[in-house]
Structure 1
Amino acid sequence: ADDGLISSGVLPNEDHTFQRRDRVEVLRSDLSAFSCEVVHEASAVSVTRVWGGPSVVVHPTSGPSAVVPTPSKSRPSVGLDPPTKTHSLPYIYTALSKPVGLPGIHEFTAMGLLDDRMIDYFDSENQVKVPRQEWMRERLPADYWDKGTQSRKSKQQWFKVNIGILMERMRQNDSDLHVLQWMHGCEGETQPDGTLRFVRGVDMYAYDGNDFLSFDDRSGVWVAPIPEALLTKRKWDSVQVLKEYTKGYLENECIDWLSKFLNYEQQQPRNTCMYDI
C-alpha cells in the first residue's frame, strides 16, 4: 500500500474460477529493474516474471509453499458400518463498490455451492437467479427461483448500502475499488442411517480481502477480528432475534436444504450434463 498498490481482491469468474488483479504505477523515468512474483500456496507453484522478460516457474518442494496433503473427508469404516462423509452447502456473495469494466466481473454476484460444485448463480447484470445443475432446474418449482431472485436483489441493495457505510467508517476514497464478501452455510456428516448430522456452520464477512466479522455458532456471538468491526459486532450482538435466526438457519434450515439437494443430485441420471445460461 505504501507504494500505491491497488488490488481488486479475489473475484469470481463466470466459469467457476477466480481471479485477482494487482497493479502499481511506475514512472517511465524510473530505470530500475522490476519483477512480479506470484506464490500460490495451495498448488505449491511460484511464478516470477521480470518486466520485459520471460516468466520463471518454480515448484518448491519444501517450506511454507510446499503442498500439504489434504485429509480425506471420508472416515474409514468400522466393522460393517458404512463410512461417514462430510458434505457442505455454502453461499458466497461478492459486491464491488463500483463497476470495473471487465468482462465477466459484475458489481454483485451470488452463488450456491454443493460440495464445491456451483448449483445456482445470480449477478447484477442479468438480475435473475438461475440453476447451474440440471437437477436443480428439474426438481425445484418456478416460485423457488422467483423468490430466490427477489432475495438476491434485496441482498444486492443491502451490500451497496453497507459498502458505503464501511467506506465512510474507514475514511476511504470512493475513487478506489472496495470489495465486501459474505459466506454462509453449513457442513453435515452422513450417519449410518443416511441422515445428516450438523458438524459446523459458517457465517463470515470479509472486506477488501481481510476478515471482518464472523459468527461463532457455538457461543452464539459475533467475532470482530479488527477494530473497525467492533461497532457492527456490538450492534448485531444486541439483536437477540438475529443471533437466534443465524444459529437456527445454520444448524437446522441449512442442513435440511443440504440433505434435500444431496437427495436430488443422487436421483439424477448420470448421463445428464450441467445446465448453464
Structure 2
Amino acid sequence: MMMTIRKYRSPLPEYEVESTGIRPNHDWTFQMKKSVIIQEDEKAEFDCFVVHRSLNEPIIVRWGRHTKIIAGATLHCSKLTFESSLSNYLNMKTYLRPVSQKRQTVLAKLELLWFNVNVDILMKRMRQTESDLHVLQWRHGCEVVQEGDEVKFSKGISEYGYDGENFLSFDNKESQWVTSVDAALPTKRKWDNVPILNMYTKGYLEKECVDWLNKFREYDNEELRKASPPDVRVFARKSSDESKLKLTCLVTGFYSEDVTMTIRKYRTSLCENEVESTGIRPNHDGTFQLRKSVEINENEKSEYDCFVSHRTFKEPVIVQCGN
C-alpha cells in the first residue's frame, strides 16, 4: 500500500510529512495515517493519493471528503484499511492470526472479480470468444541473499501470464513494465503512465516483500528451535521374492524439508537408482516424512544402515537394521 499527500498533484517529500507508519487495527487489518501542516487558504490545492493492489486504479481524495481537521489547519489523509495478502497463502497458524472465514470470503471474491474483469478485457482485446478456456496468472515475490547476519534484496518478481504464455513483467531496475506481446502494450502504457504505481511496485518488491520474507524465516527458525528431532526407524519385511527382504528407512516428524537420508551398505551410500523413494510427504499433524526402500539378501541385513541428517540433529543419526 502506498499513500502520498500531494500539492498540485505533486507528491510532497517524505521529510515534510508526518507518518504513523503502518499500524494494526483491532480486527487484524491495518491502517496508515499521514499528516502535514498547511496554510488554511491552500487546502483546495492538496489531495491524498492512495495505491493498493485491490484497487483497479489509484484513489484520489480531495480536502473535504473523508478528512478530519485536528488542531487547526492540519491535513489528514483518509485511513485506508487493507489486508496483508500473504495471510491468504501461508498457513502459519501460530504466527499470523487466522482471518475470519467471512473476511477470507470477501478477499477471495475481490481477487476473483479482479481476475474476471481483466480476463474479459484481454479476451475482447484479442478478439477471443468465451467458448474456449482462458487463464490469467500472476506471480510476484522476491529473492534475497545472505550476507553475514543480514539478508539483502537480490531480485524482484512481478509477472503475468496469459493462456500459458509470458504476457507482462516488471523490470525492477528500470521501474517499468516490459513485454514482447502486442496485446499487452496497452496495459504496459497505461501502467507506465502512472509512475507512482511503478514506484509502489518497486518499493514493495525491494522492501516490504523482503521484510515479510524475513518474518517468515524468523518464524521458520523459531519453529525449528521448538521442534523435536524427527524419529528415524529401520525395518525389514519379506519381499515378493522369498529369498530377499525389503529394507525400509523411515524418517518422520520433521518440519523443514531439508532432510538427507541414504541407505548404506558397509557405510557406503547406495546409488539413488538402486533405491525406491516415496519422496517427502506430509503427515496429518503438519510435519513431514520420507521413506526409502531397497531389496537385499536376507543374510546381509546386518551390513546395511540408515544415515539421516537434519538441522535439528547435532550430528547425523545412523540406525542399523534391527536397532
Could you tell me the TM-score, scaled by structure 1's length?
0.48
Q: Which protein shows a greater Rg?
A: 2
Structure with more relative contact order (C-alpha pairs < 8 Å, separation 6 or more):
1
Could you tell me the TM-score, scaled by structure 2's length?
0.42
